[in-house]
Amino acid sequence: MLFDLDDTLLNRDEAVDKMFFIILEKCYGDVKHSVKTEMIQRFKEYDKESYGYDDKTIVFKSLFDEFPPKYRLPHNNIQDFWNTNFPQCFLINQNIINLLNTLKSQVKVAIITNGSTQRQKAKLMNTNLNSFFDVILISEEEEISKPDKRIFELALDKLNVHHEDALFVGDDIEKDIGGCQNANIHGIWFNPHNIKNHTDIKPYAEINYLDRLLSYIS
C-alpha cells in the first residue's frame, strides 16, 4: 500500500494554521480578533495559491503587503524561516499510527510525495513517520513528480511488488489517482471533505476515513 503524505497521512490545513500563528507572534504581536480572522483567511488563500512550489517568499510578501507587520522578515531569511518552522507544525494522529502499525504487519508500505526534500524529510522525522515505511520517495530527490508514472513504477521496483498487487492512497484526484493509474495501480481517493470529482478520472475506490483501508487488505 502506497501513500501520499500531505493532506492524506498529515493534516496540512492544521499545520498552515499553526504556521500562521508563528508568523503572527514573530511579526505582528497583538492584533484585533476581527483582523486576525481576516489575516488567517488571506494567509491560507496565499498558501493555497503557492501549493506545489518550493519558494514560499510570495506567501509572506502577499501577507505583508496587505497587512503591514511590525517586524518584516528580511527577504533572504523568509524561505529559511518557512523551512525551519513549517515542518514543526505537523502532528501525527494516533489513529494514523494505529492504522500504519496494522497495515505494516500485513503488507509493505511506502510514501510517494511531491515537495522539497528538506521540508518533506523534516515532516517525516518530526512526526516519526519515517520509521513506519519500507520506501519513501520525494519528488525533488528523485527528480520525478506525481502524476508522472515513473515515480510510481520506481516505488514498485524498490518494494519488489507488481502493479496489480498494489494500491495507492491519496487526496489529489489528478496527481495521486490519475498518476497511479498511469502506472496501472489501483487508486483509492481519500476524500474526507466530500469534494466533487469534476475530472474524467475514476478512482478504484473512494473513502472518507483512512481506517476504511483495512477492508482492502483482508
Euclidean distance between CA atoms 165 and 173, whole angstroms: 21
Counting residues of the chain whose pLDDT is more than 70, the rounded percentage is 100
Q: What's the whole-number average pLDDT of the chain? A: 95
- The answer to whether 168 and 188 are in contact (CB under 8 A) is yes
Q: What is the pLDDT of residue 55?
A: 86
Q: Residue 135: pLDDT above 90?
A: yes
Q: What is the pLDDT of residue 217?
A: 87
Which range has the worst mean pLDDT, 40-44, 49-53, 77-81, 123-127? 49-53
Interval 8-37 mean pLDDT: 94
Interval 18-47 mean pLDDT: 94
* More reliable by pLDDT, 141 or 54: 141
Q: Residue 218: pLDDT above 80?
A: no
Taking CA atoms, 155 is separated from 13, 81, 105, 120, 217, in Å, by 27, 32, 19, 17, 19
Cell representation of residue 25 = 507572534
pLDDT digits (tens, 9 = 90+) for 82-105: 999 999 999 999 999 999 999 999
Q: What is the pLDDT of residue 53?
A: 78
Strands (E), 53-134: 110-113
Closest to 190 measured CA to CA, from 210, 175, 174: 210
Q: What is the pLDDT of residue 95?
A: 94
Q: What is the pLDDT of residue 75?
A: 85
Euclidean distance between CA atoms 192 and 207, whole angstroms: 7
- The answer to whether 127 and 102 are in contact (CB under 8 A) is no
Which range has the worst mean pLDDT, 6-10, 54-58, 133-137, 183-187? 54-58
